[in-house]
Structure 1
């Protein structure tokens, strides 16, 4: 047994740790409850198993308001996670609970809160053949029905989540359990293939490996997860693990045997990285069951979700993977009432990632106001005596550089026109089409080129801030084309698209295009990017499966086209959407790369290819920008 004074000192040290941990766990979906009695003669918090129709026991935490009266009937908001719904803590006061505030906020707003460990994760039984399996989502639908049967329920349920939980929420809507009236999907991936795992068909190897490794640690109930997400080492790591037992068991599991049995079942869980690294095409099998990424992508269920009529609250960011693309495509694909907000945030919305602001700049709107907006949305659809009216179906978006919030129901917004800027001699970028013959630039692919480790892709693993900084040094590894100084302010709002006429000395490759702003002092500010693996360059004439804003590539096996070394080919692809005001005197820049070393897989896997970019009358390489005011 430890002496009490050393333990108290350690507890004080760890208090700050758990406060900092709280926000991350909120993003991951964890929740640490405590026991308090209240007026309805039920514990304020219960951790329990709910059996599913196939007999599998799913763990959840139920939080009820402390002052709930016996005759009260209240709505419920639910969050489903695969990242431990809750921690087991040892001898720490209630105030050390990193997620206590979340439950209290929902309860004080008049809601029950339910947090669920997804099948094959946390304290739940079962296994995971792949993320968001059909059976996993069926579990959530059954839990919605279970909630509606409880004596304190008003029969109305909302579901919300960030990232993985957002996808689980969106897929739940496809099952349309009758009590589910509204959902909030935040910073999730409408199309996981193109918007996160394989943007442009390029394997996001860093993220997938990180995510897969983290899930394996969680599924083994390994407390080192705490040290990984907080970057703790040595004594600090050991101190944290001394007060965290792992995932929280349910109340009835007093000896831990149920949790041990649940953990044993997940030895069958899919290793996501091992499955993903074998994928090249969208229709390749993911795992050994024959399912593809399409089979658990939200867009695949657009008909069912539209027919549900469930109201949708969505958030995305210009700088968080492809979440803004997903939010826009969803808005114009589903028939549901939707309110969409796109800002300049990290993954989760708790950091301002506006590239014109310094790191740690205040968030607009503050995170507390974001939570108030979410609560007001659910109030309108779930509260029986709601005084809040449903928000309008529209897109609210932030223009960086102008620091303005704007609204639209069309995309790109009214008044925006496509203007072409052509690659020009001497690294220039010109609105005038080239007139000469056989003009070109060569680029030996620099496999040290990188966007760093604080980019739009790395934020998806834990929600850290997105900070590109001054890209001037990074651009020295790239092929750049820069315009003359702008003679007036120019707004770019929409999805830029680039067309390159190029040849390569290799049969495969990845092409990256970065849109940047160069100010009067030559500081280079990142605005957006796009990428495309050469193999996927064929533009499809088929109708896309959902609304897209630029060249459509199917990424299917039948469309694969290896390069022929030395042969000029057209490569056209979209950059991720952005809304930015470039100031008079600044210059536009397009930077071309063949690799992003800290994030993506290398194409080709070996060798040192050279690209030749044509920029002449016959092959006018260009970028098309959706502009207003130019």
Structure 2
């Protein structure tokens, strides 16, 4: 099995296919635009936006100081303090914190382009290594421990007391760092005024670790392995006072005691299992800190993706539950929003200008500037298929009705319930069933989301397909499925996929849901947060094993989506018992056979949240910064079109012209290159049309020649230059991305 890297390290080292590229614009259709034809010419991106009271950059460069802050228990937390260069004496700045369990920065790494963006606009940036990780001392006993959260509050208090600080602190982060950003509100530090959590988990159990109560085996195993490799490997920036790296060496030794998350997860079946030294997964989930977060009254600008694990669901739970002011944004994104993963994206789609949205939010809440942003709650969401952004202040959205479709004879999905008293379908679980290697779950460790045509894969599943739709149909919300089933085993996993079948028979993945059978009880207890789907507690007291051969109801919500399915297409529900690409086999042994009942006494059906045409014209004003740029998974962009929001034009933004090289000229470039920044290699091979580059643990990516030694990529804004010695031998390559140059030595 491939070993995957923590997203933060991956992004720091190579290419934004790793899924965390916060500096990149993200693509979607303008609200007022009609969908473009698949081969339509891309519209050039407009100039960077100027929101109300926007102020242009004041500072060109930045300085960095690395130091230790000693916490209440003696643990030393490593931080980078990044300030605008030539800051006038007496100038006081708001501060943006980013806290990570990955490396806050790598040794020798210059100030990042995204950090310079903020310092250029008059902000300080403080990067923090979580205790027990990076250059910080101590151990990491679990994700987001109580001590870790307290540390961030102490760091915020320290920041507010500095001579260069105006006393206002915010936080931004993606993935693990997204959760830490949200949790910065928990200590109720008076200095904390705003947080921007991106692509994070609101409920760690259901959103990523155990969706539907089923172990996300692939994610947990690879994340754990990569964390341990990162925690024990030199490469993180030592503090300035640690010239001989002795303090760093001692910190790395202590990290050897960090928890084995994979081993711990395999002992968990229920959300109240206390595997982490008497602590359950719930104890470090964001929702568990609801009272503290609400007491803080800190405004939240949270982001998620319809195609990114359960992050969209997390944003919606936060939006529906927390009383804090919230500016919530859900796109058709992969993890980190480096890709518009809508299967319907056209070559001309707008970009959400992320950096300017973050700056706009911070300008309001950390500087007190009127940037024309909302003071209460608003949700911006993207409807796939329609390729359009929309706004709402309620969820479910106004005008939502429930459309019920029944599993029926002949594998049909029918409007009318079954009329006969008998009817059932038998299905032997196929443990080779898969959603592929580029699905919504695997993107959590980096990479795009790409579900191929599922027509062939559906032959492995139990499917029910509707008649052609008589009109365009918008599905926005949480579908809910009810299955009347019997099994030959006492436990099992039920996966349900909602799909779009076009006139030619192409099958497009829309969303999915899953539930482990022992968790099927619908609890009558009060749920810990708001959600429009049936509440399964996943607690030990509510476990309900199946009785072999006896009918049982399996009812659960699918992950939310927003999609417009076109007239003439058909809807499909596909039922499976396993997804080998991600999840643990349930049950671990045996060959279960299930019977799905579909008759007048035992109805199986799906309920779809359908939004009427009239309701699409929301009365909520649209106030999201967008610009037109080509879709990441469509035609490659020109330099001007792909330029990131908030970035000045660089060499990477110019229009790139591919040339064809004699294959013989590629031979000296082929080989294995060792990156100096960590235990990683880039393997360069010859493909059908040129060179192919593969970073350790990541999918291969084709490179396109600009010269005999310069290559660029079409799936990501990065370039590679090969270096030669005095004898003309290739010795190194240099990766250029987002203002960074990373060198790798040829070792093979």
Q: Name the TM-score, length of structure 2 as normaliser.
A: 0.74
Instruction: Give the alignment partner of residue 365 of structure 1, picking from 345, 351, 362.
Output: 351
For the residue of structure 2 that corresponds to 1:87, the secondary structure is: coil
1:340-489 maps to which residues of 2 (within 5 A)?
340-357=328-345, 364-366=350-352, 369-384=353-368, 386-392=369-375, 393-462=377-446, 464-489=447-472
Residue 116 and residue 470 in structure 1: after superposition, are their counterparts in 2 closer, same or farther (change >3 A)? same
Structure 1 runs of 4+ with >2 Å offset: 17-29, 361-364, 389-392
Match of 2:517 in 1: 534
Residue 616 and residue 346 in structure 1: after superposition, are their counterparts in 2 closer, same or farther (change >3 A)? same
Structure 2 CA distance for aligned equivalents of residues 539 and 28 of structure 1: 39
Match of 2:79 in 1: 60
Instruction: Give the alignment partner of residue 202 of structure 2, picking from 187, 190, 202.
Output: 190
For the residue of structure 2 that corresponds to 1:351, the secondary structure is: coil
Match of 1:213 in 2: 225
CA contact (8 A) 1:317 1:343 kept: yes
Structure 1 CA distance for aligned equivalents of residues 19 and 529 of structure 2: 32
1:549 CA drift (Å): 1.3
1:118-517 maps to which residues of 2 (within 5 A)?
118-221=130-233, 246-287=235-276, 289-357=277-345, 364-366=350-352, 369-384=353-368, 386-392=369-375, 393-462=377-446, 464-517=447-500
Q: Where is the helix percentage greater, Structure 1 or Structure 2?
A: 1
Match of 2:526 in 1: 543
1:104-119 maps to which residues of 2 (within 5 A)?
104-119=116-131
1:560 counterpart = 2:549? no
Residue 266 and residue 532 in structure 1: after superposition, are their counterparts in 2 closer, same or farther (change >3 A)? same
Deviations, residues 573-624 of structure 1 (Å, cap 9, x unaligned): 0000111111000000000000000100001111111010000001010000
Match of 1:8 in 2: none
Query: Gaps (5+ residues) in structure 1?
Result: 1-16, 30-38, 223-245
Structure 2 CA distance for aligned equivalents of residues 141 and 611 of structure 1: 51
1:264 CA drift (Å): 1.3
1:92-111 maps to which residues of 2 (within 5 A)?
97=110, 100-111=112-123
1:55 CA drift (Å): 1.2
CA contact (8 A) 2:378 2:391 kept: yes
Deviates more, 1:580-589 or 1:389-398: 389-398
Match of 1:45 in 2: 64
CA contact (8 A) 1:195 1:322 kept: yes
CA contact (8 A) 1:352 1:362 kept: no
CA contact (8 A) 1:396 1:405 kept: yes
1:363 CA drift (Å): 6.8
1:104 CA drift (Å): 1.1
CA contact (8 A) 1:56 1:125 kept: yes
CA contact (8 A) 2:512 2:558 kept: yes
1:285 CA drift (Å): 1.4
Structure 1 CA distance for aligned equivalents of residues 13 and 590 of structure 2: 48
1:522 counterpart = 2:505? yes
Count how many residue pairs are aligned between Structure 1 and Structure 2.
567
1:307 CA drift (Å): 1.1
Structure with larger RCO (C-alpha < 8 A, sep 6+): 2
1:171 CA drift (Å): 1.7
Deviations, residues 391-440 of structure 1 (Å, cap 9, x unaligned): 35211101111111111111111111011100011110001011101200
CA contact (8 A) 1:377 1:391 kept: no
Residue 566 and residue 329 in structure 1: after superposition, are their counterparts in 2 closer, same or farther (change >3 A)? same
1:602 counterpart = 2:585? yes
Root mean square deviation, CA, Å: 2.0
For the residue of structure 2 that corresponds to 1:63, the secondary structure is: strand
Structure 2 CA distance for aligned equivalents of residues 217 and 620 of structure 1: 50
1:286 CA drift (Å): 2.4
For the residue of structure 1 that corresponds to 2:283, the secondary structure is: helix
CA contact (8 A) 1:187 1:320 kept: yes
Q: Name the TM-score, length of structure 1 as normaliser.
A: 0.87
Deviations, residues 364-416 of structure 1 (Å, cap 9, x unaligned): 425xx1111011000000015x2424435211101111111111111111111
CA contact (8 A) 2:345 2:384 kept: no
Structure 2 CA distance for aligned equivalents of residues 119 and 299 of structure 1: 22
Deviations, residues 224-271 of structure 1 (Å, cap 9, x unaligned): xxxxxxxxxxxxxxxxxxxxxx11111111111000011111222100
CA contact (8 A) 2:465 2:572 kept: yes
CA contact (8 A) 1:27 1:162 kept: no
CA contact (8 A) 1:517 1:586 kept: yes
Structure 2 CA distance for aligned equivalents of residues 195 and 388 of structure 1: 33
Residue 504 and residue 25 in structure 1: after superposition, are their counterparts in 2 closer, same or farther (change >3 A)? closer
Match of 1:625 in 2: 608
1:629 CA drift (Å): 3.3
Residue 388 and residue 28 in structure 1: after superposition, are their counterparts in 2 closer, same or farther (change >3 A)? closer
CA contact (8 A) 1:449 1:597 kept: yes
Match of 2:97 in 1: 78
Structure 2 CA distance for aligned equivalents of residues 533 and 55 of structure 1: 44
1:109 CA drift (Å): 1.2
Structure 1 CA distance for aligned equivalents of residues 525 and 72 of structure 2: 40
CA contact (8 A) 2:22 2:336 kept: no
Structure 2 CA distance for aligned equivalents of residues 534 and 606 of structure 1: 15
